[in-house]
Structures are given as C-alpha cells and as structure tokens.
C-alpha cells in the first residue's frame, strides 16, 4: 500500500514512478502517463522503462535515452525483468486502467491510495493493512475510512452486509453506533459554525431535512420527521392559497403531531424598546417573530381543521390530539448579547406562550453540542 500522486498537465497526467528494482546506486523504474487516446479510448496508458543511477547523497538521474531509430545493425539493448517485477508492472498498469475507466483523467494534482490485494492474507495481515490505510489517510488528508465504508455499503447485496455486521461482537456494534452518532453530531456542529450568518431559509430547510435529529433536540419527547414542506390545507378552488408547513413531526409513541416553522439565525427576536429606561426597559417581539407566531398558529389551525382529508392520504402516521408548535429563529447571543433587559423580555415573551415553543439557533446547536460531549464522555 502506498500513496500515489498524479499530476495533470493539459491532455495528459503523469504518475509517480514505480520502482521495479533498486540498489544503493541504481534502480529500474516504470514511468506512466495517462492520456486521452483519440485513436482508442480503451488504451489510455503510455509508459517508459527507465534506468536510473546516483552517487551517495545525490538525487536519482535518468540514464541517457537510447533511440532505437539511431541504432545500427547488430546493436541491441536488453533489460531483463524478473517475474516479481513483471507482476508489479502489470498490477500498476491495471490499476491505472481501472482509474481511468472510473473517472477519466484526474484534474490538477490528485493523490490516490494504491492497495495491492493479495490472496490468502491472515487476520494479522489484514489488521496491519487497515492500520496502514488509516495512517496514510491521516497523513495525506484523504478520507480513507469514509471510502472503505462507502464501498462496503455500496455493495448490491445489502443482506450480505447485514450478515457481516451480525458477526460482530455486541460491544463492537455499540461502539460503532456511538462513533457514527458522534460523527453526525460533529458534522452538524461544523455546519452551524460555518453558517451562523447564513440568511437563506432554503439552506436551513435542507440542513434540517438532511439532519432530522437536530430539530428533535428541541422537543422534550421523542419525535420522528414525517414530512418537510408538508401541505396542511388551505387550497382554494383555483388551487391557490396552499399552506405548507416547513416540517411536520410526530411522536412515534402517541402519534401526536408537531408543527415546526423555521426562520434564519439572522431573524430579529425583539423590536424597539416599549417602555422603561436603562435596565428597566421592556421589549416586545420583533415584527418577524410576531409574524412567525401568527404563521405557525395558522398552520396548526389548517392541520386540525383539514385533518379528516389529510388522514386519508397519511393514514396512521400522525394524530392531531394537541399538536405542538415550534419556531426556530434568531441568534440569542447576537440579538440579546449581555443586555439583561433584552434577556428578561425575551424569556418573558416565550415563557408566556402556552402553545408554542421558541428556540434560537445557537440554543438548538448548543443542545447538539451537549449531546455530543455526553457521547464522547467529555
């Protein structure tokens, strides 16, 4: 196993030399180039067998090239390749063919891990191979572990993958689940930290859709995502006026529905001061937050009044006994800062909402961070 660099220049890509034979002062290498062969796309590899030499402490230098067209009658050049050297050459060229067929010429400078698969490897050999693979990945920045998992899960025989997982010890499966959970939480935190100022509702809609577990942290009971951009009624005869809720969740045990409306971290939480001076100021909800409160109440009304029709389409998925409502909006750290009056006003505002929960983005992702630390034991 080794790290191979391929550098593209124009319509060709040069690969690192493969050492076929080496002593302290001489060596024999194969130098390959991947090309877009206009005459035959099935033959993308060109190459040279190169003899090199060096003095102690010097760099390797190519021997002078011998042009066959300049040789006279009776002159000849012979280079013997041992069986293991031919095997190495064939394996390398075969790998280049597979690489080209899978994606054509690489772009720019690209690194690949070349893995020589040998038959009859012992468990100890396999363990060493995996450790080397991960070590190379850490040094090169390549996602080697992810590639291995992706290739495994891409297997068309998913039942065989399940059978292999069943052979693992229970402790191993539990550890794998825990690590996968931490990885997902860490990825979600990275997304938040890189996009705290993102003002696109579509971006956050897609983020929460791809990571449904994030919004579940805002509820005090277990919930499952039923539908994003869920139709909850309101369509007129002209087919206009349809009402779409950002997310529809449901308790998996009681089936009670939950309506989720999302804004962005940039959504203002409070308006201008209403009364009072200095530390005694009182603030009301911002226009944007007031609108979100009215909007989610309308969604819940549409959902409950149109439930008999909706249930025909989504039988058994959810009930509307007492739908909970959640609004995700704003950034408490930015909107409230260290202003005690703003903090009191905001807490009084959302604390007085008996039927709607309001949580800010930084509060939501702080819950994700806490869960991540709990799983990591930190």
* pLDDT, tens digit, 9 for 90 and up, residues 156-204: 566 666 666 666 666 666 666 666 678 888 889 999 999 999 999 999 9
**Low-confidence spans in the chain with pLDDT less than 50:** 119, 123, 235-241, 312
3-state helix, strand, coil in the chain (%, to 5): 45, 25, 35
Say how far apart CA 289 and CA 122 lie, in whole Å: 63
Say how far apart CA 257 and CA 332 lie, in whole Å: 27
Q: Which tokens go with 11?
A: 């319509």
Q: How large is the greatest C-alpha to C-alpha distance in the chain, in angstroms?
A: 107
Say how far apart CA 201 and CA 292 lie, in whole Å: 13
Q: Which tokens go with 347?
A: 């807490």
pTM score: 0.56
DSSP 114-156: E----TT--HHHHHHHHHHHHHHHHHHT--HHHHHHHHHHT-S
Q: Which tokens go with 124?
A: 């100890």
Q: Are 33 and 106 in contact (CB under 8 A)?
A: no
Count the neighbouring beta carbons within 10 Å of the beta carbon of residue 246: 24
Q: What is the dihedral of CA 184, 188, 193, 197, to 10 degrees?
A: 170
pLDDT for the residue numbered 185: 86
pLDDT digits (tens, 9 = 90+) for 200-220: 999 999 999 888 888 888 887
Give the helix/strand (H/E) hosting 202.
Answer: helix 201-210
Reading phi first (left if > 0) and then psi (alpha if -120 to 50, else beta), residue 110 is in beta
pLDDT digits (tens, 9 = 90+) for 113-155: 666 655 455 545 555 655 665 565 555 555 555 666 665 555 5
Encode burial over 267-295: b for 16+ CB neighbours within 10 A, e otherwise.
bbbbeeeeeeeeeebebebbebbeebbeb
Give the helix/strand (H/E) hosting 86.
Answer: helix 83-103
């Amino acid at each position: 196993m080794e790290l191979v660099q391929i550098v593209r220049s124009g319509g060709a890509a040069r690969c690192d030399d493969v050492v076929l034979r080496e002593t302290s002062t001489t060596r024999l290498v194969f130098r390959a180039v991947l090309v877009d062969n206009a005459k035959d796309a099935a033959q993308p590899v060109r190459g040279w067998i190169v003899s090199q030499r060096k003095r102690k402490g010097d760099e390797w230098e190519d021997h002078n090239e011998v042009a066959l067209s300049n040789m006279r009658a009776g002159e000849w050049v012979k280079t013997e390749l041992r069986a293991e050297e031919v095997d190495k050459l064939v394996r390398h060229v075969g790998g280049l063919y597979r690489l080209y067929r899978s994606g054509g010429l690489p772009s720019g400078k690209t690194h690949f891990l070349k893995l020589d698969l040998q038959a009859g490897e012992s468990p100890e050999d396999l363990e060493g191979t995996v450790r080397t693979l991960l070590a190379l990945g850490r040094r090169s920045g390549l996602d080697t572990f992810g590639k291995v998992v992706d290739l495994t899960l891409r297997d068309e025989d998913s039942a065989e993958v399940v059978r292999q997982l069943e052979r693992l010890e229970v402790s191993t499966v539990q550890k794998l689940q825990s690590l996968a959970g931490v990885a997902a939480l860490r990825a979600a935190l990275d997304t938040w930290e890189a996009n705290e100022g993102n003002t696109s509702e579509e971006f956050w809609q897609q983020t929460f859709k791809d990571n449904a577990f994030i919004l579940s942290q805002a509820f005090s009971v277990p919930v499952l995502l039923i539908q994003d951009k869920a139709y909850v009624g309101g369509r007129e005869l002209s087919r206009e006026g349809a009402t779409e809720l950002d997310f529809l969740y449901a308790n998996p045990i009681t089936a009670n529905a939950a309506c989720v409306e999302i804004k962005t971290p940039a959504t203002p939480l409070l308006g201008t001061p209403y009364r009072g001076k200095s530390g005694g100021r009182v603030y009301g909800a911002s226009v944007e937050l007031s609108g979100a409160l009215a909007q989610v109440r309308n969604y819940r009304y549409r959902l409950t009044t149109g439930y008999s029709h909706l249930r025909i389409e989504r039988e058994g998925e959810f009930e509307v006994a007492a739908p909970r409502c959640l609004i995700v909006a704003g950034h408490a750290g930015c909107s409230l800062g260290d202003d005690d009056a703003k903090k009191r006003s905001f807490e009084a505002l959302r604390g007085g909402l008996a039927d709607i929960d309001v949580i800010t983005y930084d509060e939501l992702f702080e819950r994700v961070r806490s869960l991540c630390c709990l799983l990591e034991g930190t």
